[in-house]
Every structure is written in structure tokens, then in C-alpha cells.
């Protein structure tokens, strides 16, 4: 079972290589063994049912059925989605119904050749290391139990249900839909061929807000792009927003838990700016309070805002499950990561691209301002923060050597700026005396090296990325 390993957010692998019907069944059996073992805090959950959803990828529906049938054969009742679902729909169903947990068949933003399995715990967020390590410990240890879908349904072990409406009902209550419908905004939505589907246009129909949509049809190949809301995948959205004079472009990723934003000038917001805007909206427009949690590669802009408002801040390794753990234990207003995934107080400890997109529109509607004007006012008050990331293929035989080099002989300067602090929480982050920083980290889900940088200008941030890339390839 060397081909199955749970990373920062579940197990992902290439379809027909490691992600096979047989391996999916083995993983499902290991989950069943964990559920039956009554381990950890989840042992206190009385309702042992599992909800299963799936995305629009090749064979996702079949993989979801396989997992359901294995769990059912092990005496575990399953609510199996009757259609493709956003990941937050699964998370919401778990928390709302008090279930043991849930499974989402998805590879999120990864290329079309990948698929994966996410396990959501009883609180509606990603399972922690204790749970995923338990799954791995059971892999291949017991005989796989299996019953057909028809047999499981006849015995009421599997119930087919559309779980999306209850999720959207909550979203409609959290966001001010009445305000948005009367906002006279012109919006273009890009579902990236994923599970975001037509949900945002449907939520806003019947009002003065004009919403158009692209890439909402089912396409397991994602039109030749990766369903990740960054350039160049959002090039068409950005161009159409500028040419069509839209107020904003909203994109959701493959499983609709992350958000991308295109501006009227044809540029994209970084995930950092998206989180910043959402934080300021909840603080200043809604009057909400609470702490802020972001990953190690988060922006110093958030920290600056937190200092102004006296908010407690938390920092975690990369991976939303770490953010979710903090949100469960502490009073958190916003938790987010640099890739556009944000979670909110009073909801689930998990990302939701659909709700995030609606809250961005709500900010514009409540302030009665264009997004570019809002961004200018933020830069004027807090200064300019430009963040960039570079993903490079990196040989496996060099990975350990690179980490050893950074530990033994870390750079003392980055482009002439003195390194004043080194954060080793997840990879290596080198913080300079002018608050700019460089970070190098090996991906937990793909065979690549991620290089991150933040500086006072885009030019400098890109130069820091190049410095980091050369450093990595110098060994």
C-alpha cells in the first residue's frame, strides 16, 4: 500500500496508477475499521452515519459508490449524494446533522488526471493527523467487505440524497441575499467546470444584480486547465471581466471550497488579498469580532490589521486542517490560507468558495464602492503588500538535501536585505529586516517545490522568487 498516503488534505493520486478501484476499496475498508474502533473524540458521536459526496472528475461518482458500498458492508450507514457536490456541502451536512463524518471524492484543484479522497471529521472540518495516521495503520490489514449498491439500498444501509440544498439554505441566511439582489452589480462567475455549478447565479436570480456564468458545464477534463483559481487558469475570466465591463469576476475551484477574484482591470487578486478583504468586511461592515488564523505563508498585512483592531492571531503549518483545529478550539472570526480558501465564524471550520464569493459582493454592496476603490483605500492605510508563489518540479533525490542545506547553512541575506528571523514551522521561511520574506516548502500533495515571497512591490516579490528558485537548484 505504498501508493496510498494521506497528505495535507487527504489522499490524492493519478487515476489508474495509484488511484484505482482496488485501492479505493482498501482505503474505504481502513476508514470502516477506524469508525468501528471507536477511537478518539469521535467515539462520543452517537450517530455513526457517514455522508459521501463527489466532484465532477472522471469516475468520481463510481468511486463514491465504491466507498459507500464498503462502509455499508461493514455495518455503517451512508448518506450518498445523488449528484456532484461542493466539498462544503459535505462538511455542512456533517455538522448540521451531527454525523460521525464524511467522505468527499475529489482532487480539488489538481490536474484532471488526479482524483482523491478527503475525510471530514464530526465537526465538519478536515480530519487531523491522528485520524489519517489511523487510516494508514489499517490499510490492507483486514479483508475488504463489500455489498452492491442495490443490496445496500434495499437494506437501508445507503440512502441517496441531494445534500446541496440545505447547504445553500444556510449560505442564503449567512449572506445578505436581499441586499445583493438589489445591488445592481454586474458579475461574471467561472465555475471552472467544477462543483460550483450554477449556484451563485441561482442564489442571486430575480433581482437587479446581473450574473453571467462560464465553464459551468460538466467536463471531467476541465477544458484542458487545472481547476485552480489562479493564472493562467483564469485568463479567460479575467479577459471577459475587463472586456465586458463587469464589476467583478468570481471563480470557484474544482470542489468549490476556494475562491478566485478577477478585477475590472483584468488582474487577479491573490488569496491573501481575498482573505484581507473578507476580514475587513466582517470587522468593519458587519461589526463582528474574533481572532484570525492563517498559515505560515500568510501575509503580514493581516497581522497589521489585527494589531490595529486588537485581534489575537494564530499561525499554522500549511494545510487547512490545521486552521480548522484552531477554529474549533478558539474564538476565530476568519481562518484562511494563501490559495483563496477562507472559513468564517458561526459556520463550519472549513473553506467555502460560494459563501466567500457572496461576501465579497456583500462588501461592495454595503460600502457602495467599486472593488478597485476599496483596494486603493486599503493600500493607502496599511501599505502595499505583494505576494507571489512559484511551483517548480523538483527531483526527489534533491529534496532531503535541500532541507539539510537550509538547516545547516541558511541564507543570511535575501537580495541585500538581512534575514532577521527564520521560521521552521513548515519548510523554511526567511524574514528580512524590511518585512519582506522568502519561503521554501515541499508540497504535501504533489512532487513539486513551492517557493513563496512577499514584498512591497510585485517586482521585488518576483525577484525574491527567482532568488529562491536559484537557491534550490544550487545544490
Question: What pLDDT, on a 0 to 100 scale, did the predictor assign at position 445?
Answer: 59
pLDDT at 272 over 90: yes
Residue 338 lies in a domain: no
Radius of gyration from C-alpha coordinates of the chain: 22
The DSSP call for residue 142 is S
413-414 and 417-423 as β-strands: parallel, antiparallel, unpaired?
A: antiparallel
Residue 113 lies in a domain: yes
Residue 211 lies in a domain: no
pLDDT at 464 over 80: yes
Q: Are 41 and 145 in contact (CB under 8 A)?
A: no
CA 158 → CA 28, 51, 71, 151, distances in Å?
A: 15, 10, 9, 9
Q: Are 231 and 120 in contact (CB under 8 A)?
A: no
Residue 361 lies in a domain: no
Residue 152 lies in a domain: yes
- The per-residue pLDDT for range 327-385, each reduced to its tens digit, is 999 999 999 999 999 999 999 999 999 999 999 999 999 999 999 999 999 999 999 99
The last residue of one of the domains, among 140, 163, 186, is: 163
What confidence tier does 50 reach under pLDDT thresholds 50, 70, 90? very high
Measured at the CA of 247, the angle between CA 283 and CA 185, to 5 degrees, comes to: 80
Mean per-residue pLDDT for 317-323?
A: 91
Q: What's 468's domain CATH number?
A: 3.30.310.50
pLDDT at 8 over 80: no
Q: Are 381 and 374 in contact (CB under 8 A)?
A: no
Helices within 56-176 (DSSP H only): 60-73, 87-97, 129-138, 149-154, 164-174
Query: How many other CB atoms sit within 10 Å of the CB of residue 80?
Result: 26
Count of domains for the chain: 2
Question: What pLDDT, on a 0 to 100 scale, did the predictor assign at position 446?
Answer: 67
The DSSP call for residue 77 is -
Range(s) of the domain holding residue 398: 386-472
- The per-residue pLDDT for range 81-133, each reduced to its tens digit, is 999 999 999 999 999 999 999 999 999 999 999 999 999 999 999 998 889 89
Mean per-residue pLDDT for 35-64?
A: 93
Count CA atoms within 13 Å of residue 36 on its CB side.
16
Question: What pLDDT, on a 0 to 100 scale, did the predictor assign at position 10?
Answer: 85
Question: What pLDDT, on a 0 to 100 scale, did the predictor assign at position 358?
Answer: 98
The last residue of one of the domains, among 97, 130, 163, is: 163
Residue 448 lies in a domain: yes
CA 396 → CA 18, 194, 408, 447, distances in Å?
A: 18, 31, 20, 8
Q: What's 51's domain CATH number?
A: 3.40.120.10
Map grid coordinates 497589521 to a residue: 304
Q: Are 117 and 91 in contact (CB under 8 A)?
A: no
Q: Which of 134-138, 238-242, 304-308 has the lowest mean pLDDT?
A: 134-138
Map grid coordinates 446581473 to a residue: 210
Residue 192 lies in a domain: no
Question: What pLDDT, on a 0 to 100 scale, did the predictor assign at position 2?
Answer: 58
pLDDT at 471 over 90: yes
Mean per-residue pLDDT for 209-223?
A: 96
Mean predicted lDDT score pLDDT of the chain: 95
Q: Would the pTM of this model clear 0.85, i.e. be above it?
A: yes
Question: What pLDDT, on a 0 to 100 scale, did the predictor assign at position 41?
Answer: 79
- The per-residue pLDDT for range 141-199, each reduced to its tens digit, is 999 999 999 999 999 999 999 999 999 999 999 999 999 999 999 999 999 999 999 99
Largest pairwise CA distance in the chain: 70
Would you tell me the crossing angle of helices 353-367 and 271-280 to the nearest 10 degrees? 60
- Phi, psi at residue 126, to the nearest 5°? -60, 140
User: Is the peptide bond prior to 232 cis by the omega test (within 30 degrees of 0)?
Assistant: yes
The DSSP call for residue 41 is G
Query: How many other CB atoms sit within 10 Å of the CB of residue 422?
Result: 13
Query: How many other CB atoms sit within 10 Å of the CB of residue 441?
Result: 20
The last residue of one of the domains, among 163, 194, 215, is: 163
Residue 343 lies in a domain: no
Would you tell me the crossing angle of helices 21-37 and 129-138 to the nearest 10 degrees? 120
What confidence tier does 1 reach under pLDDT thresholds 50, 70, 90? low
Backbone dihedral region for residue 114 (phi beyond 0: left; psi -120 to 50: alpha; all else: beta): beta
The strand pairing partners of 417, in sequence order, are 414
Percent of the chain with pLDDT over 70: 99
Grouping H, G, I as helix, E, B as strand and the rest as coil, residue 366 is helix
pLDDT at 273 over 90: yes
- The per-residue pLDDT for range 382-406, each reduced to its tens digit, is 999 999 999 999 988 888 899 999 9
Q: Indicate the burial class of 304 (C-beta count within 10 angstroms; 0-12, 13-18, 19 or more).
A: middle
Give the distance from CA 343 to its chain's centroid: 9
Q: Calculate the dihedral angle through the C-alpha atoms of 213, 218, 220, 222, rounding to the nearest 10 degrees.
A: -10
Q: Which of 15-29, 415-429, 435-449 has the lowest mean pLDDT?
A: 435-449
Amino acid at each position: 500500500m505504498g501508493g496510498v498516503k494521506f497528505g495535507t488534505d487527504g489522499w490524492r493520486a493519478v487515476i489508474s496508477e495509484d488511484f484505482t478501484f482496488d485501492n479505493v476499496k482498501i482505503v474505504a475498508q481502513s476508514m470502516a475499521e477506524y469508525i468501528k474502533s471507536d477511537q478518539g473524540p469521535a467515539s462520543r458521536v452517537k450517530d455513526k452515519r457517514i455522508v459521501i459526496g463527489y466532484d465532477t472528475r472522471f469516475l468520481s461518482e463510481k468511486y463514491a459508490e465504491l466507498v459507500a458500498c464498503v462502509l455499508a458492508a461493514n455495518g455503517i450507514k451512508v448518506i450518498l449524494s445523488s449528484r456532484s457536490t461542493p466539498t462544503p456541502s459535505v462538511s455542512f451536512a456533517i455538522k448540521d446533522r451531527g454525523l460521525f463524518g464524511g467522505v468527499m471524492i475529489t482532487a480539488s484543484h489538481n490536474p484532471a488526471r488526479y482524483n482523491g479522497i478527503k475525510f471530514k471529521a464530526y465537526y465538519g472540518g478536515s480530519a487531523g493527523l491522528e485520524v489519517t495516521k489511523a487510516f494508514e495503520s489499517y490499510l490492507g490489514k483486514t479483508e475488504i467487505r463489500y455489498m452492491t449498491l442495490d443490496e445496500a439500498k434495499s437494506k437501508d444501509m445507503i440512502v441517496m440524497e441531494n445534500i446541496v440544498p440545505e447547504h445553500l439554505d444556510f449560505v442564503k441566511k449567512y449572506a445578505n441575499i436581499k441586499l445583493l439582489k438589489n445591488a445592481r452589480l454586474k458579475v461574471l462567475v467561472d465555475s471552472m467546470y467544477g462543483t460550483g455549478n450554477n449556484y451563485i447565479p441561482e442564489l442571486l436570480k430575480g433581482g437587479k444584480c446581473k450574473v453571467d456564468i462560464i465553464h459551468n458545464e460538466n467536463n471531467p477534463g476541465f477544458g484542458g486547465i487545472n481547476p485552480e483559481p489562479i493564472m493562467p487558469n483564469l485568463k479567460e475570466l479575467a479577459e471577459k471581466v475587463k472586456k465586458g465591463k463587469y464589476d467583478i469576476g468570481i471563480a470557484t475551484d474544482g470542489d468549490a471550497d476556494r475562491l478566485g477574484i478577477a478585477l475590472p482591470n483584468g488582474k487577479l487578486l491573490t488569496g491573501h488579498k481575498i482573505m484581507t478583504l473578507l476580514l475587513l468586511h466582517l470587522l468593519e461592515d458587519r461589526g463582528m469580532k474574533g481572532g484570525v488564523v492563517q498559515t505560515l505563508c500568510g501575509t503580514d498585512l493581516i497581522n497589521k490589521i489585527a494589531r490595529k483592531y486588537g485581534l489575537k492571531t494564530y499561525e499554522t503549518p500549511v494545510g487547512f486542517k490545521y486552521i480548522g483545529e484552531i477554529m474549533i478550539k478558539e474564538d476565530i472570526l476568519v481562518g484562511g490560507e494563501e490559495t483563496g480558501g477562507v472559513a468564517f465564524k458561526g459556520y463550519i471550520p472549513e473553506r467555502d468558495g460560494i459563501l466567500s464569493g457572496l461576501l465579497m459582493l456583500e462588501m461592495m454592496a454595503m460600502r457602495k464602492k467599486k472593488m478597485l476603490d476599496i483596494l486603493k483605500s486599503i493600500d493607502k492605510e496599511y501599505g502595499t503588500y505583494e505576494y507571489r508563489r512559484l511551483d517548480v518540479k523538483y527531483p526527489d533525490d534533491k529534496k532531503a538535501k535541500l532541507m539539510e542545506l537550509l538547516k545547516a547553512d541558511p541564507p543570511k541575506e535575501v537580495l541585500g536585505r538581512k534575514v532577521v528571523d527564520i521560521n521552521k514551522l513548515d519548510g523554511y521561511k526567511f524574514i528580512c529586516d524590511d518585512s519582506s520574506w522568502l519561503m521554501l516548502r515541499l508540497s504535501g500533495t504533489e512532487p513539486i517545490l513551492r517557493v513563496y515571497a512577499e514584498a512591497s512591490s510585485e517586482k521585488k516579490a518576483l525577484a525574491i522568487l527567482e532568488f529562491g528558485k536559484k537557491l534550490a537548484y544550487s545544490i
